[in-house]
Amino acid sequence: MASKPSIPKGTRDFSPTEVAKRQYIMQIIKSNFEKFGFQPIETPSFENSDTLMGKYGEEGDRLIFKILNSGDYLAKANATHLESKDSTKLTASISEKALRYDLTVPFARYVVQHQNDIEFPFKRYQIQPVWRADRPQKGRFREFFQCDADVVGSTSLWQEVELVQLYDSVFTTLGLNGVTIKINNRKILSGIAEVIGASDKLIDFTVALDKLDKIGEDGVKKEMIEKGITADAIEKVQPLFQFTGTISEKIEQLSQLLASSDEGMKGVAELRFICDNVAKLNLATAILDLDVTLARGLNYYTGAIFEVAAPKTVAMGSIGGGGRYDDLTGIFGLKNMSGVGISFGLDRIYLVVEELNLFPETVTVSTKALFINYGDTEALYAMQAIKDLRAAGIKVELYPDSAKMAKQFQHADRRNIPFAVIAGEKEIEANNYALKNLSTGEQVQVSFEELKAKLL
Amino acid sequence: MASKPSIPKGTRDFSPTEVAKRQYIMQIIKSNFEKFGFQPIETPSFENSDTLMGKYGEEGDRLIFKILNSGDYLAKANATHLESKDSTKLTASISEKALRYDLTVPFARYVVQHQNDIEFPFKRYQIQPVWRADRPQKGRFREFFQCDADVVGSTSLWQEVELVQLYDSVFTTLGLNGVTIKINNRKILSGIAEVIGASDKLIDFTVALDKLDKIGEDGVKKEMIEKGITADAIEKVQPLFQFTGTISEKIEQLSQLLASSDEGMKGVAELRFICDNVAKLNLATAILDLDVTLARGLNYYTGAIFEVAAPKTVAMGSIGGGGRYDDLTGIFGLKNMSGVGISFGLDRIYLVVEELNLFPETVTVSTKALFINYGDTEALYAMQAIKDLRAAGIKVELYPDSAKMAKQFQHADRRNIPFAVIAGEKEIEANNYALKNLSTGEQVQVSFEELKAKLL
């Protein structure tokens, strides 16, 4: 093979440093998931196509990676579609499996398939890669990890309270202070639609309203009218154009605005429960804020809607999101299974933590000391110490070859190894070791016990 | 959807208990890899097809999962192959990517692609799933994890010594005492072939010799003769039929047997270095044994060959294997890059650890205490304690609904949660908590500080 090998576009190799940093974030997410009582599950990388197809809309269907059937797949191919060269239609007869597109649909499938073995309410977390045949671009990949926590089998709003706390706990542990957890409620949105008398214009309405900061009240109203929302309707929700104050004050305004809508008032009550209890319990560093324009996955969520924005100093889209859905498992035939969940955007969190310089320096230190190799006799002496140090949990290495000193020290330097241990003839004689601090250059002769103590 | 959903054959869902047990094993492997100075890398789940195809033989090519190109893939399909309905040949024009089949070829690709950024010798580990379109059967899956550690860029035999120690350390940590690490050397096998004067019969020879225990010396010789190995040749390696004693004794016998073969004597010297130094450094619980019939991946390995057998009380194939290869990266155009590596068979190790009852009981305990929910006022009181306990790293949960007592206690029981915390009107009044041990039934009234101390 002449040309240098490469990887498919939209995919990534991760170097030791990158893996260490990613694992650092994932470990914090995982340990917080577990502190909050979530249990891990894992599902296969590929699912039967009929489990995935039709669950993400037409665009989603196109972006799902399909796996070609093994063996003589053309033997079973649909002759008509083959003849007419209809790629889309042919797929079903030459591909039975597809790579998972998210963790939510496989989770729903898991719950239905194992419903008799699951103890409900079921709090599960899942940290696994997903694949999408999206056009790759900056920050958008064809393979990326999702980190999801969901509870199914209870409608209790305490779970929403806990999910807000969970976000706060993870971002606080990461040192990522000042994230904004935006909250809204599908029922508030329905209430607004009812009040403006235009359910079909809801998305247009929220999209326009979301631009308030950018284009001002007049600009927003102009856009709304262009989209066919009447001046009369806009008049009815005028308070939303001066929607400021504390969360409690905002909720108060909503309760007046939506007084005529049963659904809207349910949303107000839910929001009030969640926000009041979060306030009573205090968040460590995150800010909870009500955002009535928040409408992610509108057709999917039925109650609370969450989205997390990075601290204002960092230009970055949402770093997490989630909400309540009342019929997750209905698509697989299990009705009345309410769920609520949140997701962490690993890649974006990584970029934010990197930009704010929040990775601890120790994350990229793996090996603590490199033993210099002076030949087989000395190496055996070194290996005896190495063995006992490793047994004590200390990460140490022998340079495998008795290469030139400079080369061995350079290796330690390039590997970011903080100490070198010199164990030559003199040290063997004295039954000790020379420990060299590679950043200060300081070198001391130490016994094995002292060596161990210094490297622990 | 009427029928209960399912997953593709050969794949698995992992329940919380299974994930916990798998993570327990993986964590031990990972922490030992790191203690020995290996650094993690990760590569994409799918590679360009030309990276993988042709690297595992014809059978391997068939077992690689191919990913169908996105969009109108038939537009670029080879018309001739499409017309002749030649599935195998058509694949190349409708599929450009394939799921990784092992971790070795992607690692070789990684080393070549990133050679300018890698500091050699490069000790990497990789724990990721691989996919094979094998016919599923007991213990053989279409998706499974490989756990590999390799060093590239040095021919030092100290690395073989360390890999033997690494096996010993992992299995000792798992409590899996008495595994046998079988060692052989490709050069010993070449020496034997040279001595019997039949290089092309080497595999037949080792396969027959391996049956010594089962069919006896006469049976083995009969099979060898049937395979075309001459009586004269067999006579020359007669000592291999009484090949017993310590490793040193076996090496001594080999050095006499292979005296006429330069290659064979090189193998003897390598074996001697590795075995002597392993002996001087002592293994904790594993047994190192020389097995001249060991020939896994014969065309691949060029020096040491390793295979690990579970303790004799368990009927299980090999639970690990590896060896030295002198030209791993040559397939991608980077010559003279010697490597040596070992692999752990996660699924089989899991089965052995399960059969020998070696999983610690704590592995499946996640949540430490369930707070009983008596309604919103009490729940808020509970949540205040829960928040502070979680901040201290203790895994606790609130039952989300104020359901009947019996149901909540049953939930704790089914979830294997060891304690329940009762915080009702009486406890709020007294500003304390009732902590109930769910296995003994014992219940005590405790302050928050006492509660924390007992759950830590």
Return the pLDDT at A205: 87
Assess whether A247 and A266 both reside in one domain.
yes
Handedness of CA A167, A169, A170, A172 (dihedral sign): positive
Assess whether A300 and A178 both reside in one domain.
yes
Return the pLDDT at B1: 45
Q: Do B5 and A124 touch (CB under 8 A)?
A: no
The answer to whether position B166 is within a domain reads yes
pLDDT in tens, B84-131: 999 999 999 999 999 999 999 999 999 999 999 999 999 999 999 999
pLDDT in tens, B265-280: 999 999 999 999 999 9
The answer to whether position A167 is within a domain reads yes
The answer to whether position A407 is within a domain reads yes
Q: Give Cβ neighbours of residue B376 (< 8 Å, ≥ 6 apart).
A: B402
Q: How far is B301 from B323, CA to CA, in rounded Å?
A: 6
**Is the predicted ipTM greater than 0.90, yes or no?**
yes
CB pairs under 8 A between A and B: 282
Assess whether A252 and A398 both reside in one domain.
no
Residue with the larger pLDDT of the pair A304 and B200 = A304
Across the range B10-21, mean pLDDT stands at 97
Q: How far is A345 from A144, CA to CA, in rounded Å?
A: 9
C-alpha distance from A142 to closest chain B C-alpha (Å): 10
Return the pLDDT at A1: 45
Q: How far is A336 from A334, CA to CA, in rounded Å?
A: 7
The answer to whether position A276 is within a domain reads yes
The count of domains in chain B is: 2
The answer to whether position B199 is within a domain reads yes
Q: Do B383 and A331 touch (CB under 8 A)?
A: no
Q: Do B97 and A8 touch (CB under 8 A)?
A: yes
Q: Do B390 and A280 touch (CB under 8 A)?
A: no
CB atoms within 10 A of CB A372: 24
Q: How far is B116 from B361, CA to CA, in rounded Å?
A: 47
Alpha helices in B329-447 (DSSP H): 346-355, 376-391, 405-414, 425-430
Query: pLDDT class for B3, splitting at 50, 70, 90?
Result: low
- State how far the alpha carbon of B140 is from the alpha carbons of A373, B99, B355, in Å: 43, 17, 18
Return the pLDDT at A210: 85
Report helix, strand or coil for A325. strand
Report helix, strand or coil for B322. strand
The answer to whether position A52 is within a domain reads no
Q: Shortest CB distance from A19 goes to which of B2, B41, B155?
A: B41
B279 and chain A: CB distance < 8 Å anywhere?
A: no
Q: Shortest CB distance from A46 goes to which of B8, B332, B393?
A: B8
Q: Do A400 and B34 touch (CB under 8 A)?
A: no
Return the pLDDT at A3: 67
The residue segments making up the domain with residue B281 are 32-42+103-355
Q: Do A143 and B390 touch (CB under 8 A)?
A: no
Which class for A106: exposed (0-12), middle (13-18), buried (19 or more C-beta within 10 A)? buried
Q: Are A16 and B119 in contact (CB under 8 A)?
A: no
C-alpha distance from A3 to closest chain B C-alpha (Å): 8
The model scores a pTM over 0.90: yes
For residue B382, the chain A residue with the least C-alpha distance is A281
Which residues in chain A are contacts of B387 at CB distance < 8 A? 165, 281
Q: How far is A298 from A200, CA to CA, in rounded Å?
A: 12
B335 and chain A: CB distance < 8 Å anywhere?
A: no
Task: Extract the residue ranges of chain A whose pLDDT is less than 50.
Answer: 1
Assess whether B340 and B418 both reside in one domain.
no
B80 and chain A: CB distance < 8 Å anywhere?
A: no
The answer to whether position B360 is within a domain reads no
Return the pLDDT at B291: 93
Q: Which of B322, B355, B388 corresponds to the end of one domain? A: B355
Assess whether B140 and B215 both reside in one domain.
yes
- Which residue has tokens 């040192």? A175
Q: Are A279 and A161 in contact (CB under 8 A)?
A: no
Across the range B307-319, mean pLDDT stands at 92
A364 and chain B: CB distance < 8 Å anywhere?
A: no
Q: Shortest CB distance from B5 goes to which of A13, A109, A373?
A: A109
The answer to whether position B169 is within a domain reads yes
Q: Do A2 and B99 touch (CB under 8 A)?
A: no
Q: Which of A334, A355, A376 corresponds to the end of one domain? A: A355
Domain of A373: which CATH number? 3.40.50.800
For residue B103 the two structure tokens come to 């971790």
Residue with the larger pLDDT of the pair B296 and B20 = B20
Q: Give Cβ neighbours of residue B267 (< 8 Å, ≥ 6 apart).
A: B185, B186, B187, B188, B189, B190, B191, B254, B258, B303
Assess whether A347 and A217 both reside in one domain.
yes
pLDDT in tens, B47-83: 999 999 999 989 999 999 999 999 999 999 999 999 9
Assess whether B37 and B129 both reside in one domain.
yes
Assess whether B257 and B125 both reside in one domain.
yes
- Which residue has tokens 């398939």? A113
Q: Shortest CB distance from A97 goes to which of B8, B13, B63?
A: B8
Looking at chain B from residue 16 to 45, which residues have their Cβ under 8 Å from any Cβ of chain A? Answer: 16, 19-20, 23, 34-37, 39-45
Assess whether B220 and B290 both reside in one domain.
yes
**Whose CA is closest to B327, among B100, B155, B162?**
B155
For residue A55, the chain B residue with the least C-alpha distance is B1
Q: Shortest CB distance from A45 goes to which of B87, B129, B397?
A: B129
Share of chain B above pLDDT 70, in %: 99
**Whose CA is closest to B143, among B122, B128, B121, B156?**
B128
Return the pLDDT at A421: 98
Assess whether B342 and B209 both reside in one domain.
yes
Q: How far is B309 from A85, CA to CA, in rounded Å?
A: 53
Assess whether A329 and A285 both reside in one domain.
yes
B390 and chain A: CB distance < 8 Å anywhere?
A: yes
Q: Do A366 and B39 touch (CB under 8 A)?
A: yes
Q: Which of B355, B388, B413 corresponds to the end of one domain? A: B355
pLDDT in tens, B377-416: 999 999 999 999 999 999 999 999 999 999 999 999 999 9
Domain of A242: which CATH number? 3.30.930.10
- Mean pLDDT (chain B) is 94
Across the range B157-167, mean pLDDT stands at 98
Q: Do A396 and B37 touch (CB under 8 A)?
A: yes
Assess whether A262 and A242 both reside in one domain.
yes
